[in-house]
A and B are shown apart, each in its own frame.
Chain A
Amino acid sequence: MRLVLLLALLAPGSVAAQADEAAPATPSQERQQALVRMVRQDCGSCHGMKLTGGLGPPLTRQALAERSLETLVATTLHGRPGTPMPSWKTMLSAADALWIAQRLQSGFPDEASR
């Protein structure tokens, strides 16, 4: 399992290229670690640390199966008006949002143990 996650982390660009040719550069390894922590811990305050949902809907692989990558990126960057989901564009770049969306769709990685 850990090996699979590691491989996914090492090869993050392929889906991005298919989804959006103009996609900006992939986040650095260090940034990716920060993003994993942010999604688990900070998005987790509404979506649950295990992303099983809370005030916000679940963000598990199964729950997002029907959602397009574009929808996930747009929701992350611009929020969902009328709901508590805010726009995260002051804290996340388009590349960050795309990387997060890809990881969510393939089953989000756990935080690396210290």
Chain B
Amino acid sequence: MRGYHRSWHERLLALLCVAALCVGAGCASALGGVDASPSGSGDLGVVVGRATGTLTVVNTSSKEALGAIGELGDLSHASVVYARDGAHAYVFGRDGALTKVNLLTRRIEARVEQAGNSIGGAISQDGTLVAAQNYQPGGIKVFDARTLSLVADIPANFDAPGEPGKRSRVVGLAELPGRRFIYSLFDADQIWIADLGQPGPPRLTKFEKIGHQPYDALVTPDGRYYIAGLFGEDGLAMIDLWQAQPKVHRILGGYGRGQEALPVFKMPHLRGWAIAGRNAWLPAIGRHEVLVVDTETWAEVARVPVAGQPVFVMAQPDGRQVWVNFAIPDYHRVQVIDTMTRQVVRTLEPGAAVLHMEFTPKGEAVWISSRDANRVSVIDTATFATLATLPVEAPSGIFFSSRAARLGL
């Protein structure tokens, strides 16, 4: 008759079984991907290496590179949007390729050559649709976010003088609530909204004569206002999308006040980061200034002189400071503006040819890419100390997975 207590060899057998199960599970997990242990995606990000056609996958907590995803084609001016899971990202290449990558496995999951020349994209509020904005052929294309199969092809046709049905280059694409996308037509001076909320062909709403040569645009974080920067005139076009009958308004009209514009050696980018408190912080065109506008009255509040032609003007997540980088030949500098005093409080030189900046999800640090220094610097936003540097060949855009939860991207 067996006693209550198991004998020593029974205990050993049980331990061995547990050990075997652990090893087996570990093997299965390792076979499924690069990471053997389950991991989240909230502190992941990518750095575009445009010369090598590679994404470097980074961790914003450990401040290190985890690996790379290669063979992504021509990544000059590449941009990235995130699926809601923060683990899948969509990469829009200059060569018109749209690639879906998995940051955890660091594998390409789908890829489509969708245009001859592309400039970026957006993902719908519900995460089901990905839209690409194209220069050649001009228009947008919308894809199933899961499979990258084509859902809609919307050419940006307009009637130019002597050229009926000409296609415009598309800029300033942003997502709006309800499976809608808004974008600007550089050559047509128009803004369009494509609504894919119902079955059937997309419903288009077109705003004409919005101002000359819209070059980029943004949607405010609440999804209410669309603001398009104008290259061809002093001012920006603004639409209040919450109105029953939205109309285009000119804001900051004539900010150059007739003075001769300085040369613009690189187009500014507007996308999504302009709002700090109730004010929007926007790059002037042809002036070495950041323009501050009140988003309740849309009156100019201030203009802050800066070190060059601003390219990115980005508010920290808390809106306490605004960070600015510049076009060549001033792109070795980054300036920090205090939003309370509206003064430049710091000028940093993190390495030659600063192309992009990205804040960690809560903004305690900013990652800055220095193309010609071949590095990414991680800077403390409170002390301006350099917390880490990562070697990356010719880094450009930096995109963290916290973008997955932002409207307008």
Which residues of A line the B interface, CB within 8 A? 41-42, 44-46, 48-50, 52-55, 79, 82, 84, 86-88, 90-91, 111
Contacts and interface: CB of A to CB of B under 8 A. Distances in A.
B135 interface: yes
A48 B94 contact: yes
Given A42-B266, A55-B135, A55-B267, A49 B328 contact: no
A49 B50 contact: yes
B179 interface: no
Contacts of B136: 53
B316 interface: no
B265 A86 contact: yes
Contacts of B353: 41
B77 A54 contact: yes
Contact of B74 (A50, A55, A88): A50
Interface string B91-111: 000110000000000000000
Nearest to A47: B76
A31 to B, nearest CB: 15
| Most chain B beta carbons < 10 A, residue from A44, A46, A52 | A52
Given A41-B371, A84-B231, A49 B94 contact: yes
Nearest to B118: A54
A90 B95 CA distance: 31
Interface string B303-335: 000000000000000000000000011000000
Given A52-B95, A54-B119, A91-B329, A42 B265 contact: yes
16 contacts: A41-B353, A42-B328, A44-B76, A45-B77, A45-B266, A49-B51, A53-B117, A54-B94, A54-B117, A55-B135, A55-B267, A86-B265, A87-B263, A88-B263, A88-B265, A91-B328
Contacts of A50: 74, 76, 94-95
Contacts of B371: 41
B65 interface: no
Interface string B30-61: 00000000000000000000110000000000
A86 B329 CA distance: 13
Interface of B: 50-51, 74, 76-77, 94-95, 117, 119, 135-136, 169, 171, 186, 213, 215, 231-232, 263-267, 328-329, 353, 371-372, 394
A interface: dominant SS: loop
B385 to A, nearest CB: 29
B71 to A, nearest CB: 16
A22 B51 CA distance: 37
Nearest to B266: A45
A53 B136 CA distance: 9
Contacts of A52: 74, 94-95, 117
A91 B353 CA distance: 15
Contact of B267 (A79, A84, A91): A84
Contacts of B186: 55
Given A54-B76, A55-B135, A55-B171, 6 more contacts: A46-B267, A48-B74, A48-B77, A52-B117, A86-B263, A91-B328
A77 to B, nearest CB: 11
Nearest to A46: B267
A29 B364 CA distance: 44
Nearest to B117: A53
A86 B171 CA distance: 20
Contacts of A46: 266-267
A87 B74 CA distance: 27
A84 B264 contact: yes
B127 to A, nearest CB: 28
Contacts of A82: 232
Contact of A48 (B117, B169, B215, B232): B117
A55 B328 CA distance: 17
Contacts of B267: 45-46, 55, 84
A47 to B, nearest CB: 9
